[in-house]
Structures are given as structure tokens and as C-alpha cells.
Amino acid sequence: MKLYDCRVAPNPRRARMFLAEKGIALDTVEVDILGGENLQAAFLAINPRGLLPVLELDDGTRIDEVMSICRYFEELQPAPRLLGRDARERAIVTSRQRKMEFDGMIAASEVFRNGHADFARRSLPGAGSDVLPAIPALIERGRQTLARFFHWLEVYLGEADYLAGDAFSMVDITAVCAIDFAGWCDIHVPPGNARTLDWYTRVSARPSAQA
């Protein structure tokens, strides 16, 4: 098995954090997104969508999409459980994980891509989207969505120590990666959100956060 990875990209970081929490070490192939390697023929033969991360199984099967990769390893090595410990908790983790993606990761991506000169002709990531010019109105939409994201983090952390209850989970991984991604655009947790700032310090101090 090997993981096609990219050190600087937020989604591959989610996979690395997940694997590090489980103590799983994989062979990795670094793909240079900044140099455009993900959109060149060699990598498009691995993933025609040009996106990372991609997991390649020993039988040659390739699995893209970070949550697919995480679910696969949650089955192969359940401990520690990062996607919930019983059916009810798994449903909650799935639900909140998606909010962290939609309102956190994707909103940060919209702000970043649609405001950055390098992506003036590529509003969406990956291959086949080079005819989609940036849409500046998405910067404001992303900022408003991130404001709601920060609000909900504070609400969830008023209920428990982590974002899906008393155990660290994928929800926390996606949220911290989204926060650091939003930071690229100088968007940060509001200074009054004390619970979130405390949680962010705790999660960022985990060794996996450096993976």
C-alpha cells in the first residue's frame, strides 16, 4: 500500500493526522501541487481528478477522497476509534464531520482559491476545472460560512471536551485542519471564543498535528 500525499495541502493533512493517531505508517509518494504535478499526465493516470490524497492498495485499487481512506483504515485497524464507538456515536461523528467539511474546509477553500492570483482561472481544485474562472463573490460567502463554523465549534465545545463528545475523533481532525487552512487567508477563531481556543491548543499539541 502507498499514499499519494502532499505536505502543504489541507486534505492530505487530514489523512496523515488520522493515520498518525492510529500509529499507522505508510509508504508515501509526495506530489508537488505547487508545481502543478497533480495536473500532469503521470499523476492524472493515478487519479484523473488530479486531487490528493490517493491510497493505492496492493492489488492496484486506488481510493481517493480523504474520508474513504479514513473509513478504510478504521476497519483495518479499529483502535483507537476515530469515527465513533457505537452506531449512535458514529452517526453523530459522520454528521458533524460533514459540517466541519462543508462549513470549514470547503468555505476556507472558496475564500482561498477565489482570492488568489494563482487560481484566477481555476475556481475549483483538480483536473478539468481550468475553464472555471475565479468567482470573487465566493470570498464573502466563504467568510460568512466560516463565521457560522466558528459559532458551531463554540456550541459543540460547550457540550463536551471534543467536537463529537468526550473522545477525540475525525471531527476534531477536520476542524483543526480547516482552522489552519482559514488562517492562510488571515481568518481566525474569534478571540472571544474561549472554549474553541482552549480546544485548538489541546488538539494542536497532539503529536499527530505535526504529521
Residues that bind its own copies (CB under 8 A): 55, 57, 61, 63-65, 67-69, 71-72, 75-76, 87-88, 90-92, 94-95, 98-99, 123-124, 128-129, 131-133, 135, 137-138, 140-141, 144-145, 148
Q: How far is the CB of 129 from its own copies (least distance, A)?
A: 7
Angle at which helix 87-99 crosses helix 170-183, to 10 degrees, equals: 10
CB 104 within 8 A of CB 179: yes
Pick between residue 116 and residue 148 the one whose CB is nearest to its own copies.
Answer: 148
Q: How far is the CB of 132 from its own copies (least distance, A)?
A: 5
Pick between residue 149 and residue 209 the one whose CB is nearest to its own copies.
Answer: 149
Pick between residue 148 and residue 198 the one whose CB is nearest to its own copies.
Answer: 148
Provide the b/e sequence for 53-71 (b: ≥16 CB within 10 Å): bbbbeeeeeebbbbbebbb
CB 66 within 8 A of CB 53: yes
Cβ neighbours of residue 70 closer than 8 Å, sequence gap 6 or more = 14, 15, 18, 82, 83, 170
Pick between residue 2 and residue 148 the one whose CB is nearest to its own copies.
Answer: 148
Pick between residue 92 and residue 167 the one whose CB is nearest to its own copies.
Answer: 92
Cβ neighbours of residue 200 closer than 8 Å, sequence gap 6 or more = 176, 179, 189
Q: How far is the CB of 95 from its own copies (least distance, A)?
A: 4
Q: How far is the CB of 96 from its own copies (least distance, A)?
A: 9
Q: How far is the CB of 125 from its own copies (least distance, A)?
A: 11
CB 17 within 8 A of CB 78: no
Q: How far is the CB of 140 from its own copies (least distance, A)?
A: 8
Burial class (CB in 10 A: 0-12, 13-18, 19+), 4: buried
Pick between residue 128 and residue 183 the one whose CB is nearest to its own copies.
Answer: 128
Cβ neighbours of residue 159 closer than 8 Å, sequence gap 6 or more = 165
